[in-house]
Amino acid sequence: DDTDLAVLEGADDAGALDEDEARPVVAVVGRPNVGKSTLVNRVLGRREAVVQDVPGVTRDRVSYPVEWAGRRFTLVDTGGWDAKVQGLAAQVAEQAEVAVELADAVVLVVDATVGATAVDEAVVRMLRRSGRPVVLVANKVDDARGEADAAALWSLGLGEPYPVSALHGRGSGDMLDAVLRALPEQTAVGRPDPAGVRRVALVGRPNVGKSSMLNALVGSERVVVDDVAGTTRDPVDELVELGGRTWRFVDTAGIRRKHRSSEGADYYAGLRTQAAIERAEVAVVLVDAAQVLTEQDVRVVQGAVDAGRAVVLAVNKWDLVDDERRRYLERELETELVQVPWAPRVNVSARTGRHLDRLVPAMERALTSWETRVPTGRLNALIAEIVAAHPHPVRGGKQPRILYATQAGVRPPTFVLFTTGFLEAGYRRFVERRLRETFGFEGSPIEVNVRARE
């Protein structure tokens, strides 16, 4: 079972688990086929971001942790959407706009073998207006003969073009050095707030009622106008005082902005959703009580769980639910949202205000769970009890045993089981269930890793 080992490599680095996710964000933009995803793969050193050969197919994952020369940042691949040639300029412009809102620095990729096109020039104008630092990559410079093509891109007025071959790796180190130089000391995007300010993302598919809920919450409570000491006045966020605490609602600009009905709008909505989740500590996932749950709802929930964020489920439009719908809805929630049986749920109506006051206590509970540290003694008392009462089944004459356990980190709680031999997935899930039964963790995912001592 080598997935255990892979996970554990990360868990070994206990510092990384406890560290706040305030890494600067770098977004990669550019026309289709200039080599963005090849470049992302090159930087990651592995083929994780899938290079799509089928036009129009979107990639699911968009952001990746990167470490270069001892600095960590998050790389966002905005290139998942391949526009048809028609409407290309609009698509690339929207992509660049999203990138600028979400990122501390932008990597603009141009195909040096093609040279600067009108679309590239339009994007450059937009990026320059934004004031965000930009690193210009002249890609597909596979050998020295291509250097002249790269130099021609000085004409874009973004300074030195970095000649790179994403395919072969040529020049990518110099480019990464330039990216580090371009990054601000402090990230504006994911910067930690002063103690007590918590970051929350309202997420869910279009029309579930996110902006109605935001309006209802902001309308009834005080919006923090003055700077809370040390907070950034990020225009895409809103600071709101609720239940005696300041909450940073991340990417409210994305919530309030109504979708342009362009191709790729769903892709960008998904991109923003994931970026908001990654910046938040707790995700409030809204679903529409009056509508059948869709795959899109499930995907948003999964995104929050995968990102390791605390989760609250808000079933909105409860004013539209009658008895019959209610019975059906309960079954749907139970069968569709199997990933989050532990998430606190509130049945609310952004329209009537019903039970909106239950939202903050639910977020608080989820965040408390997310930061829970279980004393080692209590943890190992449980492990001893499990080993005695429910030992691992014998497999091939061997019986793996849990020797002891430790909590390697919080946000979310992460445990390491030290064992003799690998545990079966079913047994690991059983241990996870017992951890939840014993310690709660309402509203938080937990991670259980295994280290086998042979």
Question: What residue ranges bind ligand GDP (CB under 6 A)?
Answer: 30, 32-38, 51, 79, 139-140, 142, 165-167, 204, 206-212, 255, 316-317, 319-320, 349-351
In whole angstroms, give the CA distance from residue 138 to residue 110: 5
Minimum Å gap between C-beta 284 and ligand GDP is 12
Q: Is 319 marked within a binding site?
A: yes
Q: What is the dihedral of CA 123, 127, 129, 131, to 10 degrees?
A: -170
Contacts of 361 (CB under 8 A, 6+ apart): 243
Of residues 146 and 190, the one with the C-beta less far from ligand GDP: 146
**Closer of 42 and 411 to ligand GDP (Cβ):** 42
CA-nearest of 66, 57, 62 to 23 is: 66
Q: Which is nearest to 386 in space by CA: 402, 371, 364?
A: 402
318 is in an annotated binding site: yes
To ligand GDP, the closest distance from the beta carbon of 30 in angstroms equals 6
Nearer to ligand GDP, 153 or 446 (CB): 153
**Nearer to ligand GDP by C-beta: 206 or 243?**
206
The CA angle 236-363-315, to the nearest 5 degrees, is: 90
Q: Is 255 annotated as a binding residue?
A: yes
* Residue 212 counted as an annotated binding residue: no
> Are the beta carbons of 346 and 355 closer than 8 angstroms?
yes
The response to whether 78 counts as a known ligand-binding position is yes
Q: Is 4 annotated as a binding residue?
A: no
Q: How far apart (Å, rounded) are the C-alpha atoms in residues 50 and 58?
A: 10
206 labelled ligand-binding = yes
Which is nearer to ligand GDP, 210 or 279 (by Cβ)?
210
Is 258 annotated as belonging to a binding site? no
Backbone angles phi, psi at 159, to 5 degrees: 85, -155
Q: Tell the smallest beta-carbon distance from residue 247 to ligand GDP (Å).
A: 18
In the complex with ligand GDP, which residue's Cβ is closer, 353 or 440?
353
**Shortest separation between residue 176's beta carbon and ligand GDP, angstroms:** 15
**Is 140 one of the annotated binding-site residues?**
yes
Q: Give the residue from 148, 155, 95, 161 showing the smallest Cα distance to 121.
A: 155
Of 206 and 361, which CB lies nearer to ligand GDP in the complex structure? 206
**31 annotated among ligand-binding-site residues:** yes
The annotation status of 142 as a binding-site residue, yes or no, is yes
Give 423-426 contacts, CB < 8 A, sequence gap 24+. 423/1, 423/4, 423/392, 423/450, 424/1, 424/392, 424/393, 424/395, 425/1
* Residue (258 or 453) nearer to ligand GDP, CB: 258
Count CB-CB contacts under 10 A for residue 169: 12
Do 167 and 93 meet the contact criterion of CB atoms below 8 Å apart? Answer: no
Query: In angstroms, rounded to a whole number, what is the distance separating the alpha carbons of residues 80 and 50?
Result: 10
Closest contact distance (angstroms) between CB of 399 and ligand GDP is 48
Q: Give the nearest distance from C-beta 349 to ligand GDP in angstroms.
A: 4
Q: Return the number of the residue (206 or 393) whose C-beta is nearest ligand GDP.
A: 206
Q: Which two tokens stand for residue 375?
A: 């004393």
Contact 162, 62 (CB under 8 A): no
Q: What is the sign, positive or negative, of the torsion defined by CA atoms of 292, 295, 300, 301?
A: positive
- Identity of the residue, 25 or 350, whose beta carbon is nearer to ligand GDP in the bound complex: 350
In angstroms, what CA-CA distances link 334 with 238, 298, 343, 420?
33, 12, 12, 36
Classify strands 447-452 and 414-420 as parallel, antiparallel or unpaired.
parallel
CB of 77 to ligand GDP, least distance (A): 8
Residue 345 phi/psi, 5-degree rounding, is -125, 135
Closest approach of ligand GDP to the CB of residue 167, in Å? 3
Q: What is the dihedral of CA 157, 160, 166, 168, to 10 degrees?
A: 140
Smallest distance from the beta carbon of 428 to ligand GDP, in angstroms? Answer: 36
Smallest gap from Cβ 299 to ligand GDP, in A, equals 15
Contact call for residues 269 and 259 (beta carbons, < 8 A): yes
Is 409 annotated for ligand binding? Answer: no
Asked if 242 contacts 214 with a C-beta cutoff of 8 angstroms, the reply is: no
Instruction: Find out whether 449 is annotated in a ligand binding site.
Output: no
Q: Which residues are annotated as a binding site?
A: 30-37, 77-81, 139-142, 204-211, 251-255, 316-319
Q: Which residues are annotated as a binding site for GTP?
A: 30-37, 77-81, 139-142, 204-211, 251-255, 316-319
